[in-house]
Amino acid sequence: MFLWTVLSLFCIIKYILHLTTARCKSIKNLTGKTILITGGNSGLGLELAKNVASRGCTTIIADKTDGAETVRKLIKESNNEYIFYEFVDFTSFKSVRTFAEEFKNKYKQLDVLVNNAGVGNAMGKTEDGLEATMQINYFSHFLLTHLLLDVLLKTPHSRIIFTSSIAGYVSNLNKENLKCYIHAALAMMSKTLAHKLRGTGVTVNAHHPGMVKTNIVSSMNKDGASYFIKFIQFLFWLWGMDTDSGVQTMLHLVTSDEDTTAEFFMNCKPFYQPPIVCNDKLRDTIWNLSEVYVNLKQEEKVDTVLNMI
């Protein structure tokens, strides 16, 4: 009886997850567009690269792992020769700065910046003295977005997309523990930046892709993983979706004809913002602290860039 109950519960939850997994319905051709995908050499980033490359756009995969073979395969599969790999190490602000400078020397437009790169649980400190997971997932994207903002502003109707998570709904983020709560920080950055860029034509949104089986989950603290981490990994193994299903909301944000901004998306549509994201004062505090942590120069700040365009 107990086994039957467990199996029934599993089937019910699996069916509910299936029903709530939306599909991007857009068939838009992206020829002439330029899309930059951080973490584009694996997981959701790679799945997105496959899709947008097949739609004809210039696709740039930014990753620490060599993507030469990935590029070769994508060119062959999509018959699109405008697919490129660029090296960037998100554990190093110096590397992010070098990448941004080289990007602007090579590419003159940026229609979509997809801030997607992430790790589950990188251990230790970076060369910049920050907790590795937070720097890779949050701080380096904060810096990169600022460094590429001038290109985005010069490209009509450009978009910035952040991969976040519903984990932000249970965050206790504050100025003392900024280095701990990644997903809430990403969602807050997205909303703050969207407000700063209102009226410029640049839209900014965050999204939750769902419970997706990627190497981020499987690599979470393999050695000596806590029971909680193991439980999370078990749930993803049990109910997690494949990357094709998980990329749909991201793909919707890339291809949608709507100019929605400052939203948190799930299942290809705006969803309730995590409550903490609606705290304007805290968002400003976190933003200002982030500028300090990444050593942002005055001429790189949003207000200054806007005045220069």
- pLDDT, tens only, 190-237: 999 999 999 999 999 999 986 655 555 555 555 545 555 555 555 555
Is residue 90 within 8 Å of 135, Cβ to Cβ?
yes
Compute φ and ψ for 27, nearest 5 degrees. Answer: -115, 25
In tens, the pLDDT along 151-185 reads 999 999 999 999 988 765 555 666 666 655 677 88
Is-catalytic flag, 164?
Answer: yes
Q: How far is CA 254 from the centre of its chain?
A: 12
Report which of 288, 296, 294 is spatially closest to residue 126, judged by C-alpha positions.
294
Q: Which two tokens stand for residue 302?
A: 């949003």
Q: Which two tokens stand for residue 293?
A: 């942590």
What structural domains does the chain harbor?
27-212+244-308 (3.40.50.720)
Residues near 175 by Cβ (< 8 Å), separated by ≥ 6?
282, 285, 286, 289
The single residue of 78, 140, 158, 164 carrying the catalytic annotation is 164
Rounded Cα–Cα distance for residues 26 and 126 (Å) = 40
**Has this prediction a pTM greater than 0.95?**
no
